[in-house]
């Protein structure tokens, strides 16, 4: 027994396949700022600290200059869509190395899992945005 699909259906399925990557990239790109905003809202902020450490302050005292450091909240970045359809949302080059101290804690600092909270609280809105973009692109 042999089965075949009408050429018209085959061509429509082929068109849908060609659009799939473009649609999924658009959905991910438009949904990423939702998590970025939630991450910014959840990132702890301390006004009293200059975000430097003892050795840095001593070096500044010797050189006579004042080094300023970005706060993690001010350094959240959203990448473009990569070849695998992923968008990276995270902290920039100046602050990424400090994030795990806050997220996981240290011997002297209690953990504050703000990234996990941001993921949990933005998940539903993120998923609904993705599905709405896909529906609108497919005309559903």
pTM greater than the 0.85 cutoff: no
Could you tell me the pLDDT band of residue 15, with boundaries at 50, 70 and 90? confident
Count up the domains in the chain and report the number.
Answer: 1
Mean pLDDT score of the chain: 84
In a domain, 9, yes or no: no
Of 99, 130, 114, the residue nearest 33 (C-alpha): 130
In a domain, 44, yes or no: yes
In sequence order, the β-bridge partners of residue 90 are 77
**Residue 77, domain extent:** 32-138
Residue 126 has a CB neighbour count (10 Å cut-off) of: 18
Give the residue with greater pLDDT, 21 vs 32.
32
Give pLDDT, residue 2: 37
Q: What is the torsional sign of CA 87, 136, 37, 110?
A: negative
Of 103, 118, 110, 105, the residue nearest 37 (C-alpha): 118
**30-86 per-position pLDDT tens digit:** 999 999 999 999 999 877 666 667 777 788 888 888 777 788 888 999 999 888 888
């Amino acid at each position: 027994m042999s089965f075949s699909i009408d050429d018209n259906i085959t061509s429509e399925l082929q068109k849908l396949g060609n659009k799939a990557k473009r649609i999924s990239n658009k959905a991910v790109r438009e949904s990423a700022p939702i998590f970025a905003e939630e991450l910014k809202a959840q990132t702890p902020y301390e006004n009293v600290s200059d975000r430097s450490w003892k050795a840095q302050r001593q070096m500044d005292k010797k050189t006579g200059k004042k080094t300023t450091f970005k706060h993690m909240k001010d350094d959240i970045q959203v990448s473009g869509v990569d070849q695998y359809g992923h968008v990276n949302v995270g902290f920039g080059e100046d602050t990424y190395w400090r994030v795990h101290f806050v997220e996981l804690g240290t011997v002297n600092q209690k953990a504050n899992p703000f990234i996990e909270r941001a993921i949990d609280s933005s998940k539903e809105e993120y998923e609904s945005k993705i599905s709405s973009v896909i529906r609108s692109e497919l005309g559903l």
